[in-house]
Structures are given as C-alpha cells and as structure tokens.
Structure 1
Amino acid sequence: MKSPIPSSTPTVINSAHEAPQVSAHFSCYNQAEIYGTSKVVKAPWQSFGLAVFAGAFIALAFVFYLTVTTGAGDAPWGLVRLVGGIAFSLGLILVVVCGGELFTSSVLSTVAWAQKHVSGAELLKCWCRVYAGNFVGAILMVCLITAAGMYELDGGHWGLNALKVAQHKLHHSWIQAFSLGILCNMLVCLGVWMTFASRDVLTKSLLLILPVAMFVSSGFEHSIANLFMVPMGMMIQSIASPEFFASLGVTQEQFADLTVTNFIFNNLIPVTLGNIVGGGVIVGLGYWWVEQGKTTSSDPHKAHHEHFSAPHSHTEKPQHASEIKLTKHS
C-alpha cells in the first residue's frame, strides 16, 4: 500500500487553475499524478465552467493564427507556419496561466487512473464534461467572431483563409487524421508535463511555446481547436454573400463539403481518438510504465534520485483522491 504524502510537505490543488500547486521537491511524474487526480475530483460545475473558458481560449488562439497567416503572399511557407504556431501557443498559455480545463491535457489523468486514485467511470465522466465545455466555449467564439464580421478582414482574405484551413481538415484519410491527432497531443501533453518542472508562471509559458508551435506548424490535428475552426468555416460558407465569394475569385460551391457529417466522421472522431492515444496512452501511461519499472529495480530510491534529483521523502504518492486536499480559488 502506498503511503500518503507526508504532512510536512502538504499538497494543495488549486481547483481554479490548470496546474496544481505542489512542492518543488516532487518529481514531474508525482506532480502528473496529482494534476490528473485534480481534474477528476473537481466539482462538475466548476470543471464544466473552466472547460468553457478553455474552449474559448483555444478558439481565440486560432483567430490569432488566422490573422498572422493571412496575406502572407510569397513569404516562405515554413516561416509563415512557424509564426502561426507561435501565435497559436497563446491558447495553451491562457489555459495554464489563467485557468481552464482542456480535454487534450485532461487526458493525462490516465496517470491517476493507472495509480488507482480514480476509477474508470470517474475518468470518463471527467473527459465527457470537459469535452462538452470545450465545445460550448468554441461555439460561443464562432458566434462572436461571425457577429464581429472578422471574416471580411483584408478584403475577405481572412475568411478565405479560414475556409481553406477548415476544408483541408476534412480531406485527411481516417488513419491520417488519427495519426495527426496522436502526434498533436503528444506535444501538447509533453508541453504540459514540462511545466511541472517549474513553479514560475513565465517559465511555464515559455516552455509551452515550442511544443505548440511545432504541432501547429506541422499540421498536426487538435480536436478542440477543430471544434472552433471547422464550424467557423461552415458558418462563413453558409452566411457570406455571393459578392464576398466573387470578390475573392471563388464560389460558395467550392466549400460545399464543409458539413456537420463530414466534420464528425472525417475529422472529429479520428482526431479525438488520436488525441487520447497520444496524450493519455503514449505520454501518460508511457511515463507510468517507466515509473513502475523504476520501482522494481534493485535500488529504486537511488534511481529516482538520479533522475529527478529530489529527496526520497518527497516522492511518496497519495493513496486515493480523497487524500488530496482541495481548496477553493481565493
């Protein structure tokens, strides 16, 4: 049986933030356990509310991406994508710093499930309410961005950029979309995992930029970002005037494949499953498996110290979610 965290080093999960406050002496893996448990045991109403914020944050980041990549002209393709990726990193930074529940990072709660701190049913309920909250936040932003008429920026080229990005996401094969989802959430969850190494907000923000910039610039697929981007394309395709399309030299029919059915079956399902595998299985359970191998070695305490440079007394884990102290955000 695992020993609870010693009282001399209390663990406090700030329920309003993406990352829990933990002792600097805990290893990244131990912090991932606490982080994952905090997601599942959080009050459902609070979890859903923070998920709405996270969905909106990711949508705003995609707006930033579209703005900086519109009208790039003859600029090098890779550099344009890099700038867009750096702009998009704003989304995950807002989630971590301002507080939010994002589905793609919440799948790291597989670590808490593997350690038997939470049940499988609790885990799935958490994922479902966070996904639903992210959807609500993303759709709210679709409505606001449309009402603001942003698709008409730069003579309509902003809207054309959005249409092309949304349509491109529907043209992947199922296995391609699934694979791109895996690659994307490996980077998202590795970025979040790196933030466990620091308690400094600025450092956490900087650590998130390159993983996010890489997955965006490389065209990897993020399910929650797609909950904004594809509906945004569908909205523009359905409400923009014939003059809008004519001025851009395209027709409305060119984007007729932007439909709910195509979105759900050709993109959202495979990408969501890929995100779960990439973040929850490869990163979360992958590190859990490595950790189990370390604890069965001939000198586990020495191995733990060499890898994390943390005192032995701070590496013990809680028995169950109930042993973790929850506090309301002040």
Structure 2
Amino acid sequence: MTAALQSSVLNLCQQAEHYGYSKVVKSPWQSFGLAVFAGAFIALAFVFYVNVTTGAGDAPWGMVRLVGGLAFSLGLMLVVICGAELFTSTVLSTLARAQRRITTAQMLGCWVRVYLGNLIGALIMLVLIMTAGMHELDGGNWGLNALNIAQHKIHHSWIQAMVLGVLCNMLVCLGVWMTFAGKDAMTRAMLLMLPVAMFVSSGFEHSIANMFMVPLGIAISQFAGPEFFSTLAVSREQFADLTLMNFIFNNLIPVTLGNIIGGGVIVGLGYWVIENQTSTEKASH
C-alpha cells in the first residue's frame, strides 16, 4: 500500500470515527427528532420506488429494478445532505466505541432512540400515504405492487432475511463512507446513488425501509375497500399472511440484526482493524 493510499484510508477512518461519535453525543431530543425525519425520508423514497416500478409490464426485470433502485437512492441522499439520523448508518458508531471515545451504553442508547425515531417517521408517512389514497393509483395497481413487495419480504427464511440485511447495510455504510471523500453536496449525493441502487435492485433488506413498506402492505390489505380488490381481480384473503407478528418475527428482527452486522461489524470494525494495523506498521518503522 502506497503512502498516499495509507493516508487516504486513515483519513476516511478518522472521519467515520468522528461521524459515529457525533451521532452519539448529540442531545437525545435532537437525535430523536432528526431520526423521525430520516424515517420519513426513507418512506418517501419507497413511495418513489413503488411509483416507478408499478405498471412496468414486459420491461426487462433488471432495468426495472435498476430504475427503482436509483429512485430509492433519493432517501439516503436526503438523510446525508439534510443531516437526518438513520439507524443503518448510525451503527458506524462502532468505530468510536472501538476507539473508546464512547461507552457501550452510550452507543446502544443512541441506536435505540434513532431506531424508534425512524419507526415513528416511517409510520407518520404511512398514515399520510394511506390518507392520500396512493394505493388507488393506476387503477389500484400501485397498491397491488405495494402488497406484493410487502408479502415477498415476510417469506424469507430467518437466516436469509438476516444475510440480506448484512448485504444491504454493507452497501449503505460503504456509500456513506464514500461521502467522506466528497467536498460538496452534489458529489456526496452522486456517490450514494450506485451503492443504494445495487442493494435495492438486488433485493437486499433494509430494516428502516421495511418499517414503512411492510406496514403499508398490512394497511392496504386491512383497510382498502372491497372495490379495490374486485377491480384487480384479487382477494383480501390472498394477503392474509401480512400481519404485524409475521413482519416483526420473520423480517424486522433478523434484518435489523443483519444491518448491524453488515454496517457496524463488517464495514465499521473491519476498517478500524485495518486502520490500527496500518498505524502499528507506521509506528514500528
């Protein structure tokens, strides 16, 4: 590794460490409020995803997913550029913990309040989207698309859901990591697009996005009128497995654990080990 590359790795690690530290030491109410915004931003991004993938018809599967992934990247752009607090990037605070700048209790307390704030933001958007009748767009096909996406998410095996969560947050955190090299908002936004597009188009699982998407499917299955289902020639009973318990135990718990492993352990602590090794080598010379 060249000296310039070593310096670059160390600089990005130091920025990531400060990034995680700054999240933990924010006042609890500020952190919570910004987390509510982040949950809402990610929910809006999923609305965009459903918009652009509904009615795709015979379009190539991969291209539809790519366009949907690029649309969803708006969510992480809003989070990073507007300074909101998203659980899946907050787990990078493991670097600050590894450097003993924060305690385990401080780190976990931050994770809990951000997670809860994200949940509230996602549910607020759920109420607004349902009240707006978005599920009736395109003759109800928008809502049917949302139902199928939500139903698919609760039918992974537990291990599969967790691994999909690992892969997702590796890409989210690597995207955020790349923004540390950006000098302006436009550069940081552009750097986020492809990592996010890849995780979305590949079907990887993001716990906060799922806090909106699966409850949206549950809400449509429970509260859409009978004419919604009759127009689409489907029955409400086809989506009877969309329940809160199935969501929590078959998706949210394993995906959340996977997100922590992918972002906090593999990316965060992985780079911390590299930084320490590089620093040790320099000191020995």
TM range (shorter): over 0.9
What is the CA deviation profile of residues 242-278 of structure 1, one whole-angstrom value per residue up to 9, with x for unaligned ones? 1111111110000000001000000000000000000
| 1:132 matches 2:116 | yes
The correspondence for 2:24, drawn from 33, 40, 55, is 40
Secondary structure of the residue aligned to 1:27 is: helix
The alpha-carbon deviation at position 199 of structure 1 amounts to 2.1
* Structure 2: distance between partners of 1:290 and 1:81: 34
The correspondence for 1:208, drawn from 187, 192, 216, is 192
| 1:184 matches 2:168 | yes
Question: With structure 2 as the length reference, what TM-score do the two structures score?
Answer: 0.96
* Structure 2: distance between partners of 1:145 and 1:25: 42
* Structure 1: distance between partners of 2:257 and 2:14: 26
Instruction: Show structure 2 runs of 5+ residues with no match.
Output: 1-7
Output the amino acid matched with 1:233: G
The correspondence for 2:14, drawn from 30, 36, 40, is 30
* Structure 2: distance between partners of 1:26 and 1:153: 49
Match of 1:328 in 2: none
Question: With structure 1 as the length reference, what TM-score do the two structures score?
Answer: 0.83
Match of 2:131 in 1: 147
Match of 1:100 in 2: 84
The alpha-carbon deviation at position 295 of structure 1 amounts to 1.6
What is the CA deviation profile of residues 57-88 of structure 1, one whole-angstrom value per residue up to 9, with x for unaligned ones? 00000000000000000000000000000000
What is the CA deviation profile of residues 131-175 of structure 1, one whole-angstrom value per residue up to 9, with x for unaligned ones? 000000000000000000000000000000000000000000000
Pair 1:182–1:25, CA change in 2 (3 A): closer
Output the amino acid matched with 1:274: G
* Structure 1: distance between partners of 2:252 and 2:174: 22
* Structure 1: distance between partners of 2:284 and 2:210: 44
The alpha-carbon deviation at position 177 of structure 1 amounts to 0.0
Match of 1:120 in 2: 104
Rg larger in structure? 1
What is the CA deviation profile of residues 162-206 of structure 1, one whole-angstrom value per residue up to 9, with x for unaligned ones? 000000000000000000000000000000000001221100000
* Structure 2: distance between partners of 1:283 and 1:174: 22
CA contact (8 A) 2:21 2:93 kept: yes
Q: Give structure 1 regions of 4+ aligned residues with deviation exceeding 4 angstroms.
A: none
* Structure 2: distance between partners of 1:179 and 1:33: 25
Output the amino acid matched with 2:221: Q
| 1:275 matches 2:267 | no
CA contact (8 A) 2:97 2:107 kept: yes
Instruction: Show structure 1 runs of 5+ residues with no match.
Output: 1-23, 303-330
The alpha-carbon deviation at position 241 of structure 1 amounts to 1.1
Match of 2:46 in 1: 62
Match of 1:260 in 2: 244
The alpha-carbon deviation at position 99 of structure 1 amounts to 1.6
> Which has the larger share of helix?
2
Match of 2:142 in 1: 158
Identity of aligned residues (%): 71
Secondary structure of the residue aligned to 2:233 is: coil
Output the amino acid matched with 1:279: G
Pair 1:219–1:25, CA change in 2 (3 A): closer
The alpha-carbon deviation at position 227 of structure 1 amounts to 0.2
* Structure 1: distance between partners of 2:215 and 2:209: 10
